[in-house]
Amino acid sequence: QYAVQLFTKLSEAPQNDGQYEAQFNLAVLLKQGKGRPQNYAEAMYWARRAELGGIEKAKFLADDIDDLITDDQHDEIRERIKISLLREIDAGAISVLPQLASFHILLLEDHDYEQAYVWFSLAVALDLPEQEERRSEMEEKLDIEQLAELQKETGRLFDALLAGESLEVMLRPAQ
C-alpha cells in the first residue's frame, strides 16, 4: 500500500526525475493487484504514460493488458492521457510536448500526423533537444496545404502558451 501511495505521488509530479519509472512501477502493482485491488484500466493508463515517457518495458506491459480492457476503457484512457499531458504543459512542463506529439502517433488507432507535427513543432520552437528530426518525419507525411494550415495553428498555440493561456481549455471540444 505504501509503494502504491509513493508511486502515485511520484507519477503525478511533472518534471520529477523518477516520474516515468514510478508510472511503470505503479502500472505493475495495479496489474498485479498489489497494494490496491487489481485494476487493468488504471494499470493501462500508467503503463501508457510511462511508455510515452520513454520507458520501453512499459509498452510490453501495456500490450499484456490490452485485451483485458474494453474498447470504451481504451477510449477513456486515451482521452485522460491527452488531458493530463495538456494540463502538465499548462502547468509549465514544456518537456511533455514531445510526449503529446508521440501520443498522436503511438496511442491513437488512426495515427494523427498533423497533430504530431504541431506538437513537435512547438517543442522545436521552445528549443527542446532532439525534436527537429521528429518534426521532419511528420512533415514528410503531410502535403503543402496541410503544412500551411498546421503552421498557422502552431503559431496560434505558441502565442497562447507564451501568454499563459490554458491549452487544455482552448482545445476542449465545444459542449
Residue of 80, 14, 41, 12 whose CA lies nearest to 4: 12
3-state secondary structure at position 146: helix
For 61-101, the pLDDT digits (tens) are 999 999 999 999 999 999 999 999 999 999 999 999 999 99
For 37-47, the pLDDT digits (tens) are 999 999 999 99
Residue 18: predicted pLDDT:
76
- Mean per-residue pLDDT, 20-39: 96
How many Å apart are CA 112 and CA 104, to the nearest integer? 5
Residue 144: predicted pLDDT:
95
Q: What share of the chain is helix, strand, coil (3-state, %, to 5)?
A: 75, 0, 25
Residue 17: predicted pLDDT:
67
For 166-175, the pLDDT digits (tens) are 999 988 876 5
Average pLDDT of the chain, as a whole number: 94
Residue 15: predicted pLDDT:
65
Cβ burial 89-123 (10 Å sphere, 16+ → b, else e): bbeebbbbbbbbbbbbbebeeeebbbbbbbbbbbb
| Residues 50, 25 contacting (CB under 8 angstroms) | no
Sequence-separated contacts (24+) of 51-54 with Cβ below 8 Å: 51/106, 52/81, 52/85, 52/99, 52/102, 52/103, 52/106, 52/107, 53/19, 53/20, 53/23, 53/99, 54/20
> What DSSP designation does 67 have?
G
For 115-164, the pLDDT digits (tens) are 999 999 999 999 999 999 999 999 999 999 999 999 999 999 999 999 99
In terms of pTM, does the model score above 0.85? yes
What is the Cα 91 distance to its own chain's centre? 15
